C-alpha cells in the first residue's frame, strides 16, 4: 500500500517466518496471502506442523529451503536468531493452546510476533505473555483483522471526532451456522480443535468469534468494558464448549455517560455465514456496519435522514482512504482488510529497524489480547452463575 509522503523511510522487505499453517490449514494460507498483498514481506522459514515429517512436507509444498523448514518452533527460534539473514518477524497461526510457547520463544530472541487471536488459551497465560512482551525488544501484533477494514477506521475516526456525541449504546453480533451439526465428529479439522477445550481453551464461540465482535466494538467506540452478564449454551449434544452466547455489557463511565451494550455470538444460526456487525449510538447520532458488505457505513445524525458513506466516496475521511487501495465502487474485502493489519505492522517494524516509532500506525496489541481472554473467562464464570454480573479481570 503506497502511502504518499510516508513510505520513504519504510523501505526493504521483512523476512517472515511462520509457526503452524502447514498443508490444509486455512488461516495459515490467509496469513501468507495477505502478507504478500502490499509487498512488505518475504516468507523464508517455518515450523509448519506438529511433526518434523509433516513440517518438511509442508515446507517443500510452499517452496521453503529445507534448511529453514524446522521440526519445532524451539529449533526455529534458536537457529533463525543466530542467522545473519534470520527472520525479523514470525506469524503464529496454530490453535490457541500453542500460541504462548512460540510467542515467548521468539519475543525473547528479539523477533517480532504477529499472532492469531485469542492471544492464548487462558487469561493467566495472556497476562504472563504481556509481561514478556512489555520487556521484549520486539513488537507484538494481534491479528484481530476486522479492525483493518477502511470503513471501520472511518467509524472510529467519526466517534473520536465527536460526530456521534457521547456513546450510549453498543451492539455487536457475530452469527455463523457452520457448527449447526457436529462437524467436529465428521472429520473437520477446523471444527475439531475449536470445540476441544484442551486446544481452544475455555471458550467456544465466545473465543473464536465473540472476541472478534467485542474487539471490534471496543476498537470503534473507544469504550472500556467493565462487566458482563452471559448466557452460554452448547446446543449440539455432546459438544464440550459453547456454540451460542447472549451477553449483556456494561462499560466504564465517560463524560458522565455509562454506555450499555449487547453481544450475540453463535455458530449454530442457520442462514448466517459470517454475520459480523456493529451498531453504535450516541447523543448526536448512530452508525451501523456489516462485515458482509464492508465498503459501506450507515451514519444517521439524530433527526436527519440516514446517510450511506462509502470507502473513498464523498465524506470519506483520511482514516479510511489511508488504508484503501483502489477507487470507490471497486470492492475491497476480507483479504484486503486483513492485509492492512500486516501492512501497519510492517510500517512499525521497518521504523523499529531505524530506532524510530511509527506513531500513525494502528493495529491490535497484547493489551487487546488480555482483554479478550478476560472477556472469555468472565463469560464462562457468569454463565455458570446463572447470568450473574461479573467484572473483567484486566
Q: What is the pLDDT of residues 36-75, one digit of tens each?
A: 999 999 999 999 998 889 999 999 999 999 999 999 999 9
What is the CATH superfamily name and number for domain 7-145+358-363?
NAD(P)-binding Rossmann-like Domain (3.40.50.720)
Closest CA to 141 of 68, 40, 67, 52: 40
CATH value of 150-326+370-384 in 2.40.30.10, 3.40.50.300, 3.30.360.10, 3.30.70.100: 3.30.360.10
Q: Do domains 7-145+358-363 and 150-326+370-384 have the same CATH topology?
A: no
Per-residue confidence (pLDDT) for residue 4, from 0 to 100: 36
For the beta sheet containing 225-233, the strands, ordered from the edge strand earlier in sequence to the opposite edge, are 307-310, 296-301, 285-290, 277-282, 167-175, 260-266, 244-251, 225-233, 390-391
Per-residue confidence (pLDDT) for residue 10, from 0 to 100: 41
- Classified as helix, coil or strand, 177 is coil
Longest dimension (CA), the chain: 65
Per-residue confidence (pLDDT) for residue 3, from 0 to 100: 37
Q: How confident is the model at residue 208 (pLDDT cuts 50, 70, 90)?
A: very high
Q: How confident is the model at residue 5 (pLDDT cuts 50, 70, 90)?
A: very low
Q: How confident is the model at residue 135 (pLDDT cuts 50, 70, 90)?
A: very high
Q: What mean pLDDT comes out for the span 286-302?
A: 98
Q: Where are the domains of the chain?
A: 7-145+358-363, 150-326+370-384
Per-residue confidence (pLDDT) for residue 8, from 0 to 100: 42
pLDDT of 342-364, one tens digit each?
999 999 999 999 999 988 899 99
Per-residue confidence (pLDDT) for residue 12, from 0 to 100: 86
Share of the chain above pLDDT 70, in %: 97
Mean pLDDT of the chain: 95
H/E stretch holding 351: helix 334-353
For helices 100-107 and 123-135, angle between their N-to-C axes, nearest 10 degrees:
10
In 199-343, DSSP assigns E strands to 225-233, 244-251, 260-266, 277-282, 285-290, 296-301, 307-310
Question: Distance (Å, rounded) from C-alpha 165 to C-alpha 159?
Answer: 7
pLDDT of 217-258, one tens digit each?
999 999 999 999 999 999 999 999 999 999 999 999 999 999
Backbone phi and psi for residue 61, each to the nearest 5 degrees, phi listed first: -60, -35
Closest CA to 41 of 88, 110, 93: 88
Least confident of 199-203, 301-305, 312-316: 312-316
Per-residue confidence (pLDDT) for residue 359, from 0 to 100: 86
Share of the chain above pLDDT 90, in %: 93
Residue 108 pLDDT exceeds 70: yes
Per-residue confidence (pLDDT) for residue 9, from 0 to 100: 38
In DSSP terms, 307 is beta-bridged to 299
pTM for this one? 0.94
Cell of 329: 465502487
Residue 2 pLDDT exceeds 50: no
Per-residue confidence (pLDDT) for residue 7, from 0 to 100: 45
Q: Which residue has the cell 452466547?
A: 245
Q: What mean pLDDT comes out for the span 165-176?
A: 98
Amino acid at each position: 500500500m503506497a502511502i504518499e509522503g510516508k513510505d520513504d523511510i519504510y523501505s526493504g522487505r521483512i523476512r517472515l517466518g511462520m509457526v503452524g499453517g502447514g498443508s490444509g490449514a486455512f488461516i495459515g494460507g490467509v496469513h501468507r496471502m495477505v502478507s504478500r498483498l502490499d509487498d512488505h514481506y518475504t516468507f523464508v522459514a517455518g515450523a509448519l506442523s506438529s511433526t518434523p515429517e509433516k513440517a518438511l512436507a509442508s515446507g517443500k509444498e510452499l517452496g521453503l529451503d529445507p534448511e529453514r523448514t524446522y521440526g519445532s518452533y524451539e529449533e526455529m527460534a534458536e537457529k533463525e536468531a543466530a542467522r545473519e539473514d534470520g527472520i525479523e518477524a514470525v506469524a503464529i497461526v496454530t490453535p490457541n493452546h500453542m500460541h504462548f510457547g512460540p510467542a515467548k520463544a521468539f519475543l525473547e530472541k528479539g523477533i517480532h510476533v504477529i499472532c492469531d487471536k485469542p492471544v492464548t488459551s487462558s487469561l493467566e497465560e495472556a497476562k504472563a505473555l504481556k509481561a514478556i512482551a512489555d520487556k521484549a525488544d520486539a513488537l507484538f501484533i494481534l491479528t484481530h483483522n476486522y479492525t483493518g477494514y477502511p470503513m471501520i477506521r472511518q467509524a472510529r475516526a467519526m466517534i473520536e471526532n465527536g460526530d456521534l456525541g457521547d456513546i450510549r449504546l453498543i451492539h455487536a453480533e457475530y452469527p455463523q451456522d457452520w457448527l449447526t451439526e457436529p462437524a467436529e465428529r465428521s472429520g473437520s479439522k477446523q471444527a475439531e480443535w475449536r470445540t476441544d477445550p484442551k486446544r481452544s481453551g475455555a471458550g467456544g464461540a465466545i473465543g473464536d468469534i465473540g472476541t472478534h465482535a467485542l474487539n471490534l466494538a471496543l476498537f470503534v467506540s473507544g469504550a472500556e468494558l467493565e462487566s458482563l452478564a452471559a448466557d452460554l449454551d452448547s446446543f449440539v449434544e455432546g459438544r464440550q464448549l459453547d456454540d451460542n452466547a447472549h451477553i449483556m455489557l456494561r462499560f466504564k463511565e465517560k463524560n458522565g455517560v455509562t454506555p450499555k451494550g449487547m453481544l450475540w455470538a453463535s455458530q449454530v444460526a442457520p442462514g448466517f455465514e459470517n454475520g459480523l456487525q456493529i451498531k453504535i449510538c450516541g447523543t448526536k447520532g448512530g452508525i451501523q456496519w456489516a462485515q458482509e458488505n464492508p465498503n459501506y457505513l450507515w451514519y444517521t445524525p439524530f433527526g436527519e435522514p440516514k446517510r450511506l458513506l462509502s470507502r473513498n466516496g464523498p465524506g470519506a475521511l483520511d482514516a479510511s482512504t489511508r488504508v484503501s487501495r483502489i477507487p470507490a465502487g471497486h470492492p475491497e474485502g476480507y483479504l484486503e482488510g486483513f492485509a492492512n493489519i500486516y501492512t501497519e505492522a510492517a510500517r512499525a517494524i521497518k521504523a523499529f529497524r531505524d530506532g524510530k516509532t511509527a506513531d500513525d500506525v494502528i493495529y491490535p496489541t497484547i493489551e487487546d489480547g488480555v482483554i479478550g481472554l478476560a472477556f472469555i473467562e468472565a463469560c464462562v464464570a457468569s454463565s455458570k452463575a446463572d447470568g450473574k454480573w461479573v467484572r473483567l479481570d484486566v
